[in-house]
Chains A and B, each alone.
Chain A
Amino acid sequence: MGKTLAEKIWADHVVTSAQGEPDLLYIDLHLIHEVTSPQAFDGLRMANRKVRRPDLTIATEDHNVPTLNIDKPIADPVSALQVETLRKNCAEFGVRIHSLGDVEQGIVHVVGPQLGLTQPGMTIVCGDSHTSTHGAFGALAFGIGTSEVEHVLATQTLPLKRPKTMAINVEGKLKPGVTSKDIILAVIAKIGTGGGQGFILEYRGSAIRALSMEARMTICNMSIEAGARAGLIAPDETTFTYVKNRPHAPTGADWEKALAYWQNLQTDADAKFDQEVFINADELEPFVTWGTNPGQGLPLNSVVPDPKSFKDPVEISAAERALQYMDLKPGTPLKQIKVDTVFLGSCTNGRIEDLRSAAAILKGKKINPAITMLVVPGSARVRVQAEQEGLDQVFLQAGAQWRSAGCSMCLGMNPDQLKPGERAASTSNRNFEGRQGKGGRTHLVSPLVAAATAIKGTLASPADL
């Protein structure tokens, strides 16, 4: 019987395996950032260990860096200390770091692909659950905890049990105004936030193959929101074209060798997935979440659901609690919900294509005066590129704020936070209670819906303008 793509990559990286023990998996690339690494480095120091492969390790500052006045010292002492600690650790252990002010600084999951470090067939880990993003290249990429970070730093391996595999088949053609963000929100609404637990997801089908690399990253990014530690997409011409000529892409004869290898990275026709899910892309609409987990989403044309309409008692009480937190009444059309803040950014939707698509809607228009809109590029390089294309001017003239790169309001670890009771349309990935600031309310949306909402003042798609 054939193998799935995930099984092939896994098998390619098993250093040793024994009955009843987890496989020891080799890690090709380890990304680190300031929040989940300090204890790991300290552990190395206490045990007198080195970073085994500093040449396969790279650090950037993203989670708690400010997005304003980045030339000044970081005002929050806790954040400043974490960033300073990362810099010291990288210097001591010989790890390359892209610090604030460096053009390669940015959200770790934007930086890896943009440098061409993320390539098909690799194993990639990072102390961050959205490491699944890199799966868009046909890599096996997943988030790990701090003690695992230490394990990878010390040994470049990780003992792991192989998850099962699930195919997410998305066939058909997306309607105009519908994006990959809407696909993944629809997938999560369908299988639930625990549906992918214990699985590696493989997104397949004509609708997936038609997507750009950046759109694919948006999908794989949110695999974790469906409960899966990893999600991937088989590499194809779109992938190879994206990787080619990036700073760390192979060149010359190496490129040919790499390409030959990458072209074989596909699920065999006779392989069997442990589970399969089917989605019809033709029917998809712009999606928005109404609740406090990413699975509580609906097409934008719907109304706020009645908790009693759910079958499962756990879902009913979750919906009741969510509506109370979100201050929403059943039956209210989603398009009548007024928002205060629009956040365009994060490792889900902070790439150049996301900024371009939002700018195309905002061009020559003004955002609603009641709305604060933050545009936060995913990396300093994305910021530079956007400025070269004049996108910053489009945002500024529309009345939005143009910020420096970082995670920003995705998790509100820096000063970019919602105030209690404020409501946001956000292109990020988590609408948990208080995620974007204590008491803040989040509706997850695509960049197109974010831009249209900023203009209208209520949740809207570009078609509503």
Chain B
Amino acid sequence: MDKFIAHSGTAIPLRRSNVDTDQIIPAVYLKRITKSGFEDGLFAAWRSDPNFELNQSKYQGATILVAGPDFGTGSSREHAVWALQNYGFKVVLSSRFADIFRGNSQKAGLLTVILAQNEIEDIWLAIEKDSTTQITVDLNSRNVEFKDATGNQRKLNFEIDDYTRWRLMEGLDDIGLTFTKIDKVENFEKSRQGFKPQTIPVKS
């Protein structure tokens, strides 16, 4: 998992509430043998609509999704997070996230930031007016910066618990956390009895 300290990029407005994980990635896309390649299934049901935000050329290359309230409800599929990441999103902003989705995203290194709904509205207005609006999400100082539709520079604070922030800033997933103790694993391996089997090919 990559370290997340701060991220700047353009954003896509998703003016819908209650976008559940079935809409983020339908079940038919779950038969894959990979954790990658789910971007084609992202919001699959809406992708055939040329007006859907992801299809609009002005939003191409965006890395921040600004979603309506109650984003990520429904099934616990981790694939929803993978699909957003595979597509290129680094951050999702919303006024409310479903618990499981938020947990999954934090494990996988997708930053989910909670702002007040009126702040989300201000960001929507800004990016709808000018799709090149740069948004900076700073995890270190816990704020989101952008220029709003009236031209004012805005700095919005958000909350995130210390442990999650530390893990994201260190880029530690469970495997990453274990790697911080890898010297202990090495020491343990030195004590592993020599008679225990190894799978190297048998001499015939």
Which A residues fall within an 8 A CB radius of B?
A: 15-16, 24, 26, 28-29, 38-39, 42-43, 46-47, 49, 54-58, 78, 81-82, 85, 96, 115-117, 119, 122, 147, 150-151, 154-157, 159, 247-250, 254-255, 257-258, 261
Contact = CB atoms under 8 A, between A and B. Distances in A.
A247 B202 contact: yes
B193 interface: yes
B199 A155 contact: no
Contacts of A155: 175, 178-179, 182, 185
A258 B78 CA distance: 43
A262 B131 CA distance: 68
B175 A257 contact: no
Interface stretch (B31-39, B60-68, B135-143): B31-39
A257 B196 CA distance: 10
Interface string B176-187: 001101101100
Given A24-B178, A155-B185, A43 B199 contact: no
A117 B197 contact: yes
B33 A85 contact: yes
B188 A15 contact: yes
Contact of A24 (B78, B181, B194, B197): B181
Contacts of B184: 15-16, 24
A255 B33 contact: no
Place the interface of chain B in its size category.
20 to 34
Given A39-B33, A39-B35, A47-B1, A157 B197 contact: no
Given A42-B35, A85-B33, A157-B185, A49 B196 contact: no
Contacts of B31: 78
A143 to B, nearest CB: 18
B151 interface: no
Q: Is the interface of B mostly helix, strand, loop or mixed?
A: loop
Contacts of B201: 96
A154 B179 CA distance: 9
20 contacts: A15-B184, A15-B188, A24-B184, A24-B185, A26-B189, A46-B36, A47-B1, A56-B198, A57-B199, A78-B31, A81-B33, A96-B200, A115-B202, A151-B175, A156-B185, A159-B174, A248-B199, A255-B195, A258-B195, A261-B193
Given A154-B175, A155-B175, A116 B197 contact: yes
B199 A55 contact: yes
A59 B77 CA distance: 26
Nearest to B79: A39
Interface in B35-60: 35-36
A55 B202 CA distance: 12
Given A16-B181, A38-B33, A42-B35, A47 B175 contact: yes
Contacts of A78: 31
Contacts of B189: 26, 156
A246 B45 CA distance: 55
Given A49-B175, A155-B179, A254 B198 contact: no
Question: 6 nearest interchain CB pairs?
Answer: A38-B33, A250-B195, A254-B195, A248-B197, A258-B195, A247-B202
A49 B178 CA distance: 13
A117 B179 CA distance: 27
A257 B195 contact: yes
Nearest to A153: B175
A29 B196 CA distance: 9
A46 B194 CA distance: 33
Given A15-B188, A155-B182, A119 B33 contact: no
Given A55-B198, A55-B199, 11 more contacts: A16-B181, A24-B184, A28-B192, A54-B199, A96-B199, A96-B201, A116-B197, A151-B175, A155-B182, A250-B195, A254-B195
Contact of A43 (B35, B178, B179): B35
A370 to B, nearest CB: 37
A114 B188 CA distance: 28
Contacts of A49: 175
Contacts of A16: 181, 184
Contacts of A119: 196-197
A115 B204 CA distance: 13
Contact of B34 (A38, A57, A122, A159): A38
Most chain A CB within 10 A, of B35, B179, B184, is at B35
Nearest to A39: B35
B109 to A, nearest CB: 10
Nearest to B85: A46
A50 to B, nearest CB: 12
A159 to B, nearest CB: 7
Interface string B85-106: 0000000000000000000000
Contacts of B175: 47, 49, 150-151, 154-155
A16 B198 CA distance: 23
A56 B181 contact: no
A257 B178 contact: no
A250 B202 CA distance: 12
A151 B195 CA distance: 25
Nearest to A253: B195
Nearest to B200: A55
A168 B44 CA distance: 51
